[in-house]
Amino acid sequence: MKKEILSALIIIVLFSGCKSSNTGELTGVAGRKNFFEPEPFEMAFIPAGSFTMGPSDQDAVFAMNSISKTVTVEAFWMDQTEITNNKYRQFVYYVRDSILRTKLGEAQVPDREYFMTDRDGNVIEPYVLNWEERIDPEEETTAAILEEMYYPPEERFNWKKQIDVRKLNYTYFWVDYQQAAKSRYIYDYAGNTGRYEGLVTNRDGSTTPVRDRSSFIRHDTLNIYPDTLCWIRDFTYSFNDPQADLYFWHPSFDDYPVVGVSWVQASAFSRWRTDFMNTALRKNGIADVQAYRLPLETEWEYAARGGLDLSMYPWGGPYTRNYEGCFLANFKPLRGNYIDDGTVYTAKAGSYEPNEYGLFDMSGNVAEWTCCAYHPSAYIFQHDLNPNYEYNARPQDPPVLKRKVIRGGSWKDIAYFLQTSTRDYEYQDTTKSYIGFRNVRSYIGVNQ
């Protein structure tokens, strides 16, 4: 009797589900998941707003960028501190481990599946790494491949085995929206076909007709290990060998801002961080988040001001000391008295008080890359809504086209460079011991 009642209920449910709920009203697509963006780890929320971009007090004489302009910026998330050595090391280790797993997969180590397979057991191409597969260093093939990851015997110092950092090359992909926006897709309804109109500029500077969507998918491969020798290269007749030897790898410097990273490497890190986050979200059935990226120059200045529109420095006042006479940032005070602010070189991230948005070290410690190309008069021709000026310089381009805006000043700079409005630049393929970076992520949801 119970079985008959249960069967009847199932039939009722099935038939009731077949009835159309269409009432003719526009209700939108059913079944869409609600999305709530959780607060990212160690990032501060920067609300949308407008501010006066440009110098509000001191400025260099005859500077072409000495104008002020009211602009509006939409909401975004920003790292509370610069990317530290230990956080960047996570990127380095990921690249190291992915190279090793790729080599093991290609060598077809017995009883190991380092590549993901489809339902039929065929390896997915392009390769998708299986991070769950355990690596057995005692296995013969694995041991031989591990040996390839180290410096060759003739290059080892004191016969110590160390990873050959020249092999830490990372390949990443991105969509060139700027070029995609310039092309046009024409659909032929009669022939049920379509074609693209327009040209795309390649990495070598040549132009070719747009073939299909793949024409806008770019990729690059570069070495991502920080340039530890920049500490010596940046300063003539100065003893900085201990920094070159210890700064990136020693545990005592884990929470210090990473340096020796070029603009290109910082951009690659941002794309890896995006993929790393979205891969984890997809496993839990959560939609992708917006990409991590380097901040726009405008975003950086807006965030550095902390809601204090006309302040010279992130802390609001016109002075670099507080009431007790202590310096408020890590820079080069007085006449070369580096230690007077508490540190000789960089300071641990977050050592000084944050601004009103909860951001640390927006002035001093290390200068920071932005995504924008440098042009002295960019304020004149930029839009007043999310102003941006970008140029994807190619390796063969002249140096003037490789200039990228840096902001905030560093441990070796005088107070002028610490001002929230001061602009400076460095070349995208250079590495410096006083330049680091932090990421931003556009806010998803209601504009606020």
Instruction: Give the tens place of pLDDT for each residue, 234-244.
Output: 999 999 999 99
pLDDT in tens, the chain (448 residues): 445 545 554 444 444 445 557 788 898 888 877 777 778 999 999 999 999 998 876 666 566 666 888 999 999 999 999 999 999 999 999 999 999 999 998 888 877 888 888 777 788 877 888 888 898 888 888 899 999 999 999 999 888 899 999 999 999 998 988 888 888 888 878 877 888 888 888 877 788 899 888 889 988 999 999 999 999 999 999 999 999 999 999 999 999 999 999 999 999 999 999 999 998 888 887 878 889 999 999 999 999 999 998 889 999 888 999 999 899 999 999 888 999 999 999 999 999 999 999 999 999 999 999 999 999 888 889 999 999 999 888 888 999 999 999 999 999 999 999 999 999 999 999 999 999 999 999 998 654 4
pLDDT reported for residue 229 = 96
The residues, any chain, with a CB within 8 Å of residue 136's CB and separated by 6 or more, are: 112, 142
192 and 58: one domain?
Answer: no
254 and 278: one domain?
Answer: yes
User: Considering 221, 256, 274, which residue would you say is the last residue of a domain?
Assistant: 221
288: its two tokens? 């992708």
Three-class secondary structure of residue 169 per DSSP: strand
26: its two tokens? 């526009």
Quick one: CA torsion of 225, 231, 233, 235, rounded to 10 degrees? 160
286 and 207: one domain?
Answer: no
pLDDT reported for residue 447 = 47
Domain CATH for 362: 3.90.1580.10
232 and 380: one domain?
Answer: yes
412 and 304: one domain?
Answer: yes
Model confidence pLDDT, tens digit, residues 380-400: 899 999 999 998 888 889 999
CA 185 – CA 193 distance, rounded (Å): 11
pLDDT reported for residue 46 = 96
Question: Would residue 361 count as lying in a domain?
Answer: yes
190 and 287: one domain?
Answer: no
259 and 193: one domain?
Answer: no
Residue-range definition of the domain harbouring residue 385: 36-84+224-448
Q: How many helices (H) and strands (E) does the chain have?
A: 9, 16
203 and 328: one domain?
Answer: no
- How many distinct structural domains can be found in the chain? 2
191 and 262: one domain?
Answer: no
242 and 363: one domain?
Answer: yes
Question: Would residue 63 count as lying in a domain?
Answer: yes
Beta strand pairing status for 169-175 and 217-223? antiparallel
Question: Would residue 283 count as lying in a domain?
Answer: yes
pLDDT reported for residue 182 = 87
User: Considering 188, 221, 254, which residue would you say is the last residue of a domain?
Assistant: 221
Q: Over the range 374-405, which residues count as b (16 or more CB within 10 Å of their CB) and which as e?
A: bbeebbeebeeebbbbebbbeeeeeeeebbbb
208 and 292: one domain?
Answer: no
327 and 417: one domain?
Answer: yes
Question: Would residue 19 count as lying in a domain?
Answer: no
Question: Would residue 146 count as lying in a domain?
Answer: no
pTM of the predicted model, to two decimals?
0.90
Question: Would residue 44 count as lying in a domain?
Answer: yes
User: Considering 166, 198, 221, which residue would you say is the last residue of a domain?
Assistant: 221
Question: Would residue 243 count as lying in a domain?
Answer: yes
Question: Would residue 95 count as lying in a domain?
Answer: no
